[in-house]
Structure 1
Amino acid sequence: MLRTPGQIHGNEIFSRHPRRSFSWNPWGSSVSKRFPGRRLSLPRLGVLCAIVIALVAAGYFGVRNVQDVSVAATMPSAFSGYVDVTATPRFAFEDPAVPSAKAVVLSFVVADPKQGCTPSWGAAYSPDQAASDLDLDRRIARLRQLGGTAAVSFGGLINSELAVSCTDPNALAAAYRQIVDRYSLTTIDLDVEGPALADTAAADRRAHAIAALQKEHKANGKPLSVWLTLPADPNGLTADGRNMVARTLAGGVDLEGVNVMAMDFGGSKAASESMSQAASAAAEAAHNQLANLYHDAGTDLGSETLWRKLGVTVMIGQNDTAGEVFTLADAATINGFVTSKNLGRVSMWSMNRDRTCSPNYPDLSKVSDGCSGIDQGSQLFSATLANDVGLPTQAAAPSPTTSSATAAADDPSTSPYPVWNANAAYVAADRIVWHGSVYEAKWWTRGDVPDNPVLQGGATPWKLVGPVLPGDKPSPKATVAPGTFPQWVPEKSYHQGDRIMFDALAFEAKWWTQGDSPEAAIEGAADSPWAKLNASQLQAARPTAALP
């Protein structure tokens, strides 16, 4: 058989080159033509494997990053300020001065001093007492009418947290449930500090009770968001704080996030470091700690998601630690940090303090419950911290509303206060019901319709307190039993402290008087020598209770 020059049968290749063999070539035919018959060396194979692994890893982490960003996008940043519910003077959170103040964290629910498994507000008011003495239920309803949201914080530094005092797991869960159900809460805050921070038994009880409550709410289609608030310094969470997060996760709580209290740094803050720099460092460190804590709990979260699960709370103005002052410039810096990192939450202690102290407050280096300790001018910390930050996205619980079309529902037998009467005269602090809402007189008034849609601000003598609530009952009206005080006599002289009756009302003389009718005091005259006795004074006079 004739062959062209160089032509070789296939079965002759091995006979002519017995030491050569074919090897797999991943680089394609072009490479095979350039390097015929060469095997891929081990170093080249290693490089190839490394490239393949890198490509696969890049693809995996790329998908993870997309998922991380996608999940984080569903968790926007939000501002909410703490309100000290029991502090005086009372802060009117139901009448926010600026839109940023419409999201509040009401503080603090703690254990009753005499009954460890019974919740109370600041160890001073039961929920029912808070409703009657502080009008808390109605004020929360009013805030929600205005589109605001209210969360409740359990714990705090002072008084005993429920999980510390209550060792009965069922009773503890019932105590948390009572508050969540009473105020129709969608978000709660667990502020753990002081001795409670190292109490591991209380931490486990708290976690199991809250996890059970979340499970109940989820089954009813009403998710309950839970924030864990812990002290921090520029190095992040303390060892006890990290342990608290770990135990809370291990107990089954689905944390909305961990909120670091970036305040009162003491020696942990360098002298050259500003309060905002220290707070930012605390958040940065906590972000890394949180990644490890979730990893140890069996969940790996992306960086963006972790920022959304982190909050920072600052103490505005003068801090408890001498020399530490959080300024408005610090607030602007923290706001920039929050918006750049997209933290899940930014808060402040407290809304009560967001104003300049009056000249009567003598020592600005001491913390006040009612002012910041710095000259704020017309600026508010709440507005600065909340700039470009939204309100909590949880749907506000429904609040009762009543339109003017249901005016017939104003029933004296069920209304908490007398129904407004156009012919009656009302003095400052008198309350009435009109068209399903409760109003309070700002000064003497007669014939002024409480829900006048035209009058604004100082032009109306009425302040809207909030809606009439389901279950409201007529408030007892303290009246003086006949004969408790003598009737007023125009011809008689009265001295300071003398008490009399006039028009079924009780009065006390402010100074010597004769012939001055108490009618002027009823109409709100400041120069009247008579002062109408208030409810506590009547109580001391042993009144009888009667319905209006």
Structure 2
Amino acid sequence: MQRSRLAATLVAAATVAGAAAVVAATAHAQAGASTGLDNNWYAAAPYLMPQSNNPPDPVTVMNATGQKAFQLAFILAPKGGGCSPTWDGTSPVSSDTTVGDAINRIRGNGGDVSVSVGGYGGTKLGQTCGTVDATAAAYQQVVTKYNLKAIDFDLEEPEYEDTAAIANELGAAKKLQADNPGLFVSVTMPGTAAGTGWFGTQLLDKAKSIGFSPNNFSIMPFDGGFNGGGASQVSALEAFHGLLQSHLGWDSETAYSHEGFSGMNGKSDTSEYFNVSDFQTVYDYATSHHLGRFTFWAVNRDRQCTTTTDNSVCSNVQQNDWDFTKFTTRFAGATPPQTTPPTSPTSPTSNPPGTCSAPDWQKTQVYTGGNVVSHNGHKWTAKWWTQGEEPGTTGQWGVWTDNGGC
């Protein structure tokens, strides 16, 4: 899997300009104390690179979506070697002010952050620190520096296939969990059509063998085998549910509650396309099965491409800015503000969508004849009793009458 995740994918000018926007308001290094949020917010925190990939202003995103938490990425070992935490392998956590100031801005606006360690590529602390205790001590510096209430272990290549490195990471995660009561710990790993691959099942077995049970195990169902969009992702999540049962000995309800989705919004690096409608499909599955986490890579990409098609900074699908972030807001239990869905430049319509005052259509809600809802920028009226039939998917013979754009 190749993802536009690390600094090697960046354009220097965009990085400098984006980072400046993130840190404009404050100047001190330490992230202020956080009273924390409910765990549902940490379970619904989308990934955001605060120093790379032309980062958006997190406060702007918060105000536009209602989102309160972000998953800041990534903590790595120094590129020159060693066992001290850095951002992207280049910026030491010990002397950081940039990310700390961004965290202060988020907390000052009523939110909080989790920090993600690892990611795809780069050298991980589990590879360089040598022991569980040394790895945990390095990560504890991050927890202490930023007063964290949540941390994510994104376990991917190249450490994913390194048994000793994975043992250090999982052992460190268990130690952090014990040493920081209440710390929300998530583990994220690659996804396959079978749920996860051989190395993923070995990771689950290792976690069980050391008695480590995080708040959540999440898979990333993208970058290979997911051209079916949301439907293929749901199939993978259901397969992973079975793996959680068989490898960890959990019953079905426990497995679902400790399972998570970590998607990719828009075009993946293998040219899969995940549209807003695909996120809706997975969101419906996640909420109906009471999954424990719903997140995506990344807020930096959560905007329609205009002057560039760079996957690291825009989605390459039709959307409004921050449409995908609104799913994580909803998963956390909040109602995001409504925005006008974009009109496709290649598919003009005589009834362009607009801002809808009617309530959003909900898959699980029962509607009767005459009920009015909004969906995808149009207003719809039910002809008769219905539940679960999505407006616009069943044509003129369906239950919903299209009243045009709002």
In the superposition, the TM-score normalised over structure 1's length comes to: 0.51
What is the match of residue 84 of structure 2? 118
Q: Residues of 2 paired with 1:157 and 1:377: CA distance?
A: 27
In structure 1, what is the equivalent of residue 290 of structure 2?
342
Aligned equivalent of 1:223, options 169, 176, 182: 182
1:31-55 per-position Cα deviation (integer Å, ceiling 9, x unaligned): xxxxxxxxxxxxxxxxxxxxxxxxx
| Contact kept in structure 2, 1:226 and 1:255, CA below 8 Å | yes
Give the conservation status (yes or no) of the 8 Å contact 1:331–1:385.
no
Corresponding residue number in structure 1 for 2:129 = 166
How big is the shift at 1:99? 4.1
Unpaired stretches in structure 2, ≥5 consecutive residues = 1-37, 335-406
Report what 2:316 is aligned to.
373
3-state DSSP class of the match of 1:171? helix
Q: Say if 2:294 is the partner of 1:351.
A: no
Instruction: Identify which of 203, 206, 209 aligns with 1:244.
Output: 203
Q: Cα deviation per residue 1:3-52 (whole Å; 9 max; x = unaligned)?
A: xxxxxxxxxxxxxxxxxxxxxxxxxxxxxxxxxxxxxxxxxxxxxxxxxx
Change (3 A) 1:137 1:237: same
Change (3 A) 1:151 1:379: closer
C-alpha separation between the residues in 2 aligned to 1:111 and 1:379? 31
CA deviation after TM superposition for structure 1 residue 93, in Å: 1.9
Change (3 A) 1:321 1:250: same
Aligned to 1:285: 239
- Match of 2:64? 98
Any conservation in 1 of the 2:72–2:114 contact (CA below 8 Å)? yes
Partner of 1:327: 275
Aligned to 2:108: 145
1:519 aligned partner = none
Look up the match of 1:387.
330
8 A Cα contact 1:87 1:369, kept in partner: no
Contact 1:81–1:101 (CA under 8 A) maintained in structure 2: no
**8 A Cα contact 2:121 2:156, kept in partner:** no
CA contact (8 A) 1:203 1:248 kept: no
Distance 1:138 1:379, change over 3 A: closer
Mapped partners of 1:89, 1:110: distance in 2: 19
Of the structure 1 ranges 223-232 and 367-376, higher mean CA displacement relative to structure 2 is found in: 367-376
1:486-501 equivalences in 2 (<5 Å) = none
Once the two structures are TM-superposed, the CA of residue 130 in structure 1 deviates from its matched residue by 3.3
* 1:96-120: CA deviation from partner (whole Å, max 9, x where unpaired): 2434432111000000112320110
Work out whether residues 236 and 282 of structure 1, in 8 Å CA contact, stay in contact via their aligned partners in 2.
yes
> What are structure 1's unaligned runs of at least 5 residues?
1-73, 296-300, 392-548
Deviation at 1:372, TM superposition (A): 0.8
Per the TM alignment, residue 383 of structure 1 is displaced from its structure 2 partner at its CA by 1.1
**Contact (CA 8 Å) 2:302, 2:322: kept in 1 or not?**
no
Q: In the alignment, is the contact (CA less than 8 A) between 1:75 and 1:308 conserved in 2? A: no
**Amino acid in the other structure paired with 1:375:** Q
Following superposition, the deviation at residue 129 of structure 1 comes to: 4.5
User: 4+ runs of 1 displaced by more than 4 Å?
Assistant: 74-78
Q: 2-side partners of 1:384 and 1:212: how far apart? A: 32
> Aligned partners of 1:283 and 1:244: how far apart in 2?
17
Q: CA RMSD in A?
A: 2.1
- Bigger radius of gyration: 1
Which letter maps to 1:228?
V
Deviation per CA, 1:112-162: give whole Å up to 9, x if none: 11232011000121124531xx2x212212212322121011101120111
1:385 is displaced (CA, Å) by: 4.8
